[in-house]
Chain A
Amino acid sequence: MTAFTPSPAHGVTRRALLRGGLAGAGLLALAACRSAADTAASPAAGGSAGPRSGGVLTVGTGIDFTPGLLFAQSANTLVQRLVFNTLTRYDDQLRPQPELATSWQVAPDGRSVTLKLREDVRFHGGRRFTADDVVFAVKNLQNPARSAQLRATAAAVTDFRKNGDFELTLILAHPVSNLFDLFEFMIIPDSATVEDAVAGTKLIGTGPFTFTERRPGSSLTFARNPDYWNPGRPHLDGVEIRVIPQAESLLSSLRTGQTHLSYNVRGKDVATLRNDPLFRIKQYDTGAGAYYIGANLTAEHVGDKRVRQAIAWAIDRDRFLQQALGGYGTISSIPWPKSSPAYREADATRYHHDPDRARALLKEAGVGPITLPFAHSAEPGATAVAQILQYDLQQVGIQTVLQPTDSPTMQKQLISQSMPALWTLSHGFAQLQPATLAVSAYPFNEAKNSSHFSSPAYTDVVQKAWNRPDSDSPEAKALHQQITEILLDESFVIDLAIAGLIEVAGSKVRGADLNKFGYLNLDDAFLTA
């Protein structure tokens, strides 16, 4: 009976509830007259000529910021130069320009450097910036827990001599040729809040923007620093970094104007925007890292140099560039991008697609048909890369079994030198002084690398190139050339192509820039009306 007719009272209540719910939904829909689809595009009022003040710039990135890696080169380096400053800043020819340091003097023997610092700089909390902050920044990078790649260079600083609050001499254990790489890399944090910074709760620096909020996995927001030392800068009222992990979604977000600027658009997606007047596309000569095949020399077959060279000849780098990178980048047998002092065209094209030569080398090495494990990162782009390489290797008689690996597992194997016979990844640190690559990038490290490669000749030439005060004299250049020769001959890291570092900007964005470590510099950026 109860099942037959529920009491009328109940019936009404439930129906009323339903109606109420519908009405509520309707109200919400009515309230939605403001459009979220074009909020980012709506400009604030401003002048017509010259840089316009105001507006919030939205930057899209595929990977969230990891606070624990604030002092390291990580996958997201957009934050560093917004909140912080560095001592100096390279121009296009790798010549240092003043930032927090106004001038510098390297001793003739290269064993010390004296810096003069700006006197009008304040941290976001209001405290004055002095030489003590530089001392702290160097010591901070010497701490292994900060995982700074340039720790070797920071560790070469053995003592500090202050001359007043704004002059400082760093004493070095030996001359280092990549000293200004360190000054380009090292952000100057507030010493009192550095632990909060690596925990991601508070970021205090001297930079053009103050950190306002972080929503992990979603966004980071920054507001204009009204007391910035660079007069009239920044033009923008604020910056929002949006984390959009799915590549297609990032592209859609740019297309709809929800995001103004991104450095994480895949080359093959950029190709689809190339002719769109709504976007301005700029390539940086530094490149976004180099794709390479690594070989573990303790594994079977690839311990033989000829097999590794055969792999270098087997890859069709042109097809790789077109299909994996959408044509954005340059093919290269060497790690150096065009902006590097060690770059030479003849070296970059040393290896090209020559399957017959690869087969001949394999035959010479006495290697029949072989099957090798081949690790790669599990994300879609890297999976496509690995499949292209796998196919080319198969054509010369090297079968591979792909091993999709997630990044912590890959890192663990890299660090513990337990990589399979072959792997593919990309590496950075070639866009700087050449010595930095061989002392700071793990694949190339002369003392200990993932390939288990070591040779007295390599160690000797790397140390010579690093332990000297300059990097552009003829002697330095000769040393760089020797490093290149060893890398090409030994092929323990087989470079394939330098990925293009591509800035995709909406037509309103002006003046955005990256430093050599990919730190986003928005001092001069503005949005046109």
Chain B
Amino acid sequence: MRTFLLKRLPSGLLILLLASFLVFLILRLIPGDPATTLAGPDATPATVDAIRTQLGLDQPLFSQYVHWLGHLLTGDLGPSYAIGGQVSDLIGNGLAATVQLTLGALLLVVLLALPLAVLGATTRHRAVAATVQAVTTAVLAVPPFVTGVLLVLLFAVTLGLLPAGGHESLLDAPDLAVQYLLMPALCLALPSAAVLARYLKNGIDRALGEDYVRTATALGVSRRRILWQHALPNALPPAVTVLGLQIGQLIAGAVLVERIFAWPGLGQLIEQGVLRRDYPVVQDLLLLVVAGYVAVQLLTDLAYAWLDPRVRWE
């Protein structure tokens, strides 16, 4: 395992360095800078220049880049330019919210996909199988921002069961936090659950068609036992890879879902950061997203190896 990690780490670091350069450069290419945002709509050019100097934006680009990397290495992210507060606090809070949302969604993905897939693969009724197929296909065909607003109208406005939007910390008030979490997590989870369910169902189908299953059935092993002990374990490892890819999709989808449900996560923070040209926030955050992706890829490979003993730590 150590050699596995040693082999993967350097390329991960290379990606991070590349990403840092790209992120820095793209941000400076965007017209307008934090000084214009901070100066407000009725500022004079003198005000803007004063703020620019104060923020060090009059320095040459290369030295700004080196300055930033230096701060990153010491772990001091510094203050945000436009949003206010320390970058580390902003990212910390946003990360906590997004992790809650993504984990909630992930849990729902598995809770929804597993039964659906098993149902679709094992049912003897054609109608049930067709319904499962239709539901998973239909979910994929409706844009998430429409699903989100429909969920709000149904559960919050019409039924009054759940809050329309907002966020509560899982540590402070877990019972309330779960209610705030339910709708955005569901909205985020639905498309991924559909993808996973179909993938898993195909996997189970394939496994059930294998010779050893037929042999087992002939030997009188019960259907349930075959499913849980043979078919499902064989269908899981590739599904985990799909799940790993879906995590990336979940984070991407979070940008939309967070906007609809006023969820103060990283998606909102990035959007605000770009819209206000808050360089430090966007730079650090995007780098974190890249790092997170690299880590998730690594973890997926590890999980895959854990679930499928054929894969060795090479």
Cβ contacts under 8 Å, B59 to chain A? none
Please tell me if the beta carbons of A67 and B84 are within 8 angstroms of each other in the complex: yes
Candidates A149, A246, A249, A409; contact of B31 at CB < 8 Å: A409
Given A37-B161, A252-B157, check contact A68 B47 (CB 8 Å). Answer: no
A residues less than 8 Å from B42 (CB atoms): 72-73, 147, 149, 429, 440-442
- B76 at the binding interface (Cβ < 8 Å): no
Measured CB to CB, the nearest residue on chain A to B165 is A249
**A25-B111, A200-B85, A415-B36 given as contacts; is B228 within 8 A of A15 (CB)?**
yes
Within 8 A of A (CB), among B28-54: 31-33, 36-48, 50-51, 54
Q: How far is the CA of A246 from the CA of B175 in the complex (A)?
A: 25
Interface pair B85/A258, CB less than 8 Å apart: no
Contact residues of B between 64 and 108, Cβ < 8 Å to A:
79, 81-85, 90, 93-94, 97, 107
Confirm or deny: B174 has a beta carbon within 8 angstroms of a beta carbon on chain A: yes
CB-contact partner of B83 in A21, A22, A66, A416, under 8 A: A66
Is A201 in the interface zone, CB < 8 Å from B? yes
* Closest Cβ–Cβ distance, residue A276 to chain B (whole Å): 12
- B107–A256 contact, CB under 8 A? no
Chain A residues lying within 8 Å of B39, measured Cβ to Cβ, are 147, 411, 415
Q: What's the minimum C-beta distance from B218 to chain A, rounded to whole angstroms? A: 16
Interface set, chain B 4-34, CB cutoff 8 A to A: 31-33
Give the contacts of A402-425 with B (CB-CB under 8 A): 406-409, 411-412, 414-416
Which residues of chain A are near B261, meaning CB under 8 Å?
A: 249
Contact call A66/B84, Cβ cutoff below 8 A:
yes
Q: Are A448 and B44 in contact, with the CB atoms below 8 A?
A: yes
Query: What is the CA–CA distance of A31 and B277 in the complex, to the nearest angstrom?
Result: 42
> When the two chains form the complex, which single residue of A144, A201, A441 contacts B46, counting CB atoms closer than 8 Å?
A144
In B158-210, the 8 Å CB interface with A consists of 160-168, 173-176, 178-180
Whether A411 contacts B36 in the complex (CB less than 8 A), given A145-B50, A253-B166, comes out as yes
Given known pairs A2-B309, A15-B228, the reply for A248 and B149 (CB within 8 Å) is yes
- Tell me which residues across on chain A come within 8 A of B259, comparing CB atoms: 245-246
Give Cα distance in the complex from A5 to B149, angstroms: 46
In the complex, whether B113 has a CB less than 8 A from a CB of chain A is no
Which residues of chain A from 427 to 467 have a CB within 8 Å of any chain B CB?
429, 440-442, 448
Q: Which residues of B contact A248 (CB under 8 A)?
A: 149, 152, 260
A206-234 interface code vs B (CB 8 A; 1 in, 0 out):
00000000111111000000000000000
**Which residue from chain B places its CB closest to the CB of A429 in the assembled complex?**
B42
Instruction: Find A35's partner among B40, B149, B153, B179 (CB 8 Å cutoff).
Output: B179
**Is A32 a contact of B309 with CB atoms below 8 Å?**
no
In the complex, chain A residues 238-293 whose Cβ is within 8 Å of any chain B Cβ: 242-246, 248-249, 252-253, 255-256, 258
Query: With A36-B162, A199-B84, A252-B156 as given contacts, are A69 and B107 in contact (CB-CB < 8 Å)?
Result: no
A residues less than 8 Å from B229 (CB atoms): 5, 11
Q: For chain A residues 354-389, which have a beta carbon within 8 Å of chain B? A: none
Using CB atoms, name the residue of chain A closest to B267.
A217
Chain A residues near B299: list those with CB within 8 A. none
Among B118-126, B131-139, B242-250, B268-276, the one that faces the other chain is B268-276
Complex formed: what's the CA distance from A65 to B38 in Å?
12
In the complex, what distance in Å separates the CA atom of A145 from the CA atom of B81? 13
Determine the chain A residues whose CB is within 8 A of the CB of B212 once the complex forms: 4
Within 8 Å by CB of A245, from B31, B40, B84, B262, lies B262
Closest chain B CB from A36 CB (angstroms): 4
B264 in the interface, Cβ–Cβ < 8 Å? yes
Task: Give min CB distance, A418 to chain B, whole Å.
Answer: 10
Which of B85, B163, B275, B308 lies in contact with A36, CB distance below 8 A?
A: B163
B residues within 8 A CB of A15?
228
Question: In the bound complex, do residue B40 and residue A64 qualify as a contact, i.e. CB atoms below 8 Å apart?
Answer: no
Please report the C-alpha to C-alpha distance between residue A416 and residue B259 in the assembled complex, in whole angstroms: 32
Contact between B79 and A147, CB atoms less than 8 A apart: no
Interface residues of A in 1-47 (CB under 8 A from B): 2-6, 11, 15, 21-22, 25, 28-29, 31-39
B-side interface residues, number (CB < 8 Å): 72
**Central interface residue in A31, A74, A415, by most chain B CB within 10 Å:** A415
Q: What is the CA–CA distance of A5 and B309 in the complex, to the nearest angstrom?
A: 11
**In the docked arrangement, what's the CA distance between A118 and B268, Å?**
43
- For chain B, what secondary structure do more than half of its interface residues adopt (helix, strand, loop), or is it mixed? helix
Cα A459 to Cα B153 in complex, Å, equals 54
How close is B236's CB to chain A, nearest CB, in angstroms? 9
Cα separation A467 to B57 with both chains bound (whole Å):
38
Are A216 and B83 within 8 A (Cβ)? yes
The answer to whether A216 touches B264, judged by C-beta atoms less than 8 angstroms apart, is yes
Q: Are B44 and A258 neighbours in the complex by a CB distance under 8 Å? A: no
Q: Is the CB of A37 within 8 A of B38?
A: no
**Which residue of chain B has its CB nearest to the CB of A143?**
B50
Contact A64 B272 (CB under 8 A): yes
Given contacts A145-B47, A409-B31, A412-B32, contact A255 B157 (CB under 8 A): yes
**Per a CB cutoff under 8 Å, which of A246, A256, A408 touches B260?**
A246
B84 to A25, Cβ gap below 8 A? no
With A34-B175, A217-B269, A256-B160 in contact, do A249 and B262 touch (Cβ < 8 Å)?
Answer: yes
Instruction: Answer whether residue B241 sits at the interface, using C-beta atoms and an 8 A cutoff.
Output: no
Name the residue on A nearest B275 (C-beta). Answer: A406
A147 to B46, CA, bound (A): 10
> Is B234 in the interface zone, CB < 8 Å from A?
yes
A411 lies within 8 A of B41 (CB) = yes
A442 with B165: CB separation less than 8 A? no
Nearest CB of A to B64, in Å = 18
Q: Are A415 and B79 in contact (CB under 8 A)?
A: no
* B176 (CB) vs chain A CBs: closest residue: A36
Interface string of A59-82 (1 = CB under 8 A from B): 000001111110011100000000
> Does B292 sit at the interface, judged by CB under 8 A?
no
Tell which of B166, B176, B180 has the most Cβ of chain A within 10 Å. B166
Tell me the complex Cα distance, A103–B269, Å: 46
**Residue from the list B33, B81, B93, B107 in contact with A25, Cβ < 8 A:** B107
Known: A248-B149, A255-B157, A440-B42. A243 touches B47 (CB 8 A): no
Q: What is the CB-to-nearest-CB distance from A58 to chain B, in angstroms, rounded to a whole number?
A: 10
**Hey, which chain A residues are within 8 Å of B83, CB to CB?**
64, 66, 200, 216-217
Interface string of B252-269 (1 = CB under 8 A from A): 000000011110100011
B224 at the interface (CB under 8 A from A): no
Taking a contact as CB atoms closer than 8 A, the residue among A68, A256, A406 that contacts B163 in the complex is A256
What is the CB-to-nearest-CB distance from B275 to chain A, in angstroms, rounded to a whole number?
6
- Beyond A406-B275, A411-B37, 12 additional contacts (C-beta under 8 Å) are A2-B310, A4-B212, A21-B107, A31-B174, A147-B51, A200-B83, A217-B264, A244-B165, A244-B166, A245-B259, A245-B268, A248-B260
Q: Would you give 23 A-B contacts (Cβ < 8 Å), ordered by A? A: A5-B229, A36-B168, A64-B272, A67-B84, A68-B82, A72-B42, A199-B85, A217-B272, A218-B166, A219-B166, A246-B259, A249-B260, A255-B157, A406-B275, A407-B275, A408-B32, A408-B36, A408-B37, A411-B32, A411-B39, A415-B44, A415-B45, A440-B42
| B interface with A by C-beta (< 8 Å) | 31-33, 36-48, 50-51, 54, 79, 81-85, 90, 93-94, 97, 107, 111, 149, 152-153, 156-157, 160-168, 173-176, 178-180, 212, 228-230, 233-234, 259-262, 264, 268-269, 272, 275-277, 308-310
Q: Which 4 A-B pairs have the closest CB atoms?
A: A200-B84, A408-B32, A218-B264, A67-B84
